[in-house]
Amino acid sequence: MSFTVIIPARLASTRLPNKPLALIDGIPMIVRVAQQAAKSAASRVIVACDDPTVQKACEEHGIEAQLTSKDCACGTDRLSEVVNKLNLDENEIIVNVQGDEPLIPVDIINLVAEILKKDSGLAMGTAAIRIRDAEEFFNPNVVKVELNKRNEALIFSRAPIPWNRDLFAKSKESIPEDLGLRHVGIYSYRASFLKQYPHLSKSPLETFESLEQLRALWHGYKIGVEIFNREIPPGVDTFEDLERVRLYFGKK
């Protein structure tokens, strides 16, 4: 299976300044992410960055990097710019790996690419894991997803979905087993969809929920979802996260 990984990287970060260049055991985090992605079945790994210092850091470690506009509103816009810039084949499968996940499992990268390989009717693929407890289910920072019988996304929401009317009328301390699905923020796309993405208008739901994948559903594109059966290490959002990952690589 041939696919391309593109890793969007924005230098500015409110919680962790210059995050892509933060050193993890002597190597910039963005390079660590690219090295992890290269362990997948991808035929090509590209960093899509908005600053020449990030591009230089990647190239010094043998990582391909493309400079993109600082005006990209989101990671998908950055991917779209690279796909158009390189004029990638319409049928090429692109996997978006976040630039702050140096511990991302290789299996999940291959999994979301395989979704599009198996079904030509899908524009996007993504993953989900089972929600473990009520606290997670009711947390608005945890994005939930509901599927149809073909494992296609019906809706993504920060709200607790699906709402079990009778059970929650009695108690909100527990959730039924195998009910809720937590969305995992990794995506695969067809290059043809990414070329169209900048021309798609925002949807009201996307604005309300602050979830860009709702734009695709709003415009009628199908998103396939696979359930990943292992825990996924969290990404690096804060200095404490960075220290935890540094400790992991130091022990490794």
pLDDT digit string, tens, across residues 116-151: 999 999 999 999 999 888 888 888 988 999 999 999
Chain centroid to CA 11: how far? 18
Query: Of 71, 101, 131, which closes a domain?
Result: 101
d(CA 103, CA 24): 12
- Rounded mean pLDDT of the chain? 89
For 15, the token pair is: 């919680």
Q: Please tell me whether residues 93 and 117 are part of one structural domain.
A: no
* Residue 95 and residue 139 share a domain: no
Cβ distance 91 to 192 under 8 Å?
A: yes
My answer on whether 121 and 165 are in the same domain is yes
Number of domains composing the chain: 2
Q: Judge if 131 and 223 occupy the same domain.
A: yes
**DSSP assignment of 70-116:** TT-SSHHHHHHHHHHHHT--TT-EEEE--TT-TT--HHHHHHHHHHH
CA atoms of 27 and 65, how far apart (whole Å): 16
Residue 199: which of 219, 214, 174 has the closest Cα? 219
Average pLDDT over residues 209-230: 93
The mean pLDDT of 6-27, rounded to a whole number, is: 86
Return the HEC string of 8-52: EECCCCCCCCCHHHCEECCEEHHHHHHHHHCCCCCCEEEEEECCH
pTM over 0.85: yes
Q: Amino acid identity, residue 244? A: R
Q: Are residues 161 and 72 in the same domain?
A: no
Q: Which of 43, 76, 101 is the last residue of a domain?
A: 101
Measured CA to CA, the distance from residue 245 to residue 102 in angstroms comes to 8
Residue 249 lies in a domain: no
Q: Are residues 45 and 162 in the same domain?
A: no
The pLDDT tens digits of the residues spanning 28-76 come to 999 999 999 999 999 999 999 888 999 999 999 999 999 887 766 677 8
Domain that holds residue 144: 105-184+201-232
pLDDT band at 173 (very low <50, low <70, confident <90, very high): low
Band the pLDDT of 180: cuts 50, 70, 90: confident
Domain boundary at 77, 101, 125, which?
Answer: 101
The backbone torsions φ and ψ at residue 95, rounded to the nearest 5 degrees and listed phi first, read -110, 125
Please check whether residue 250 lies inside any domain of the structure.
no
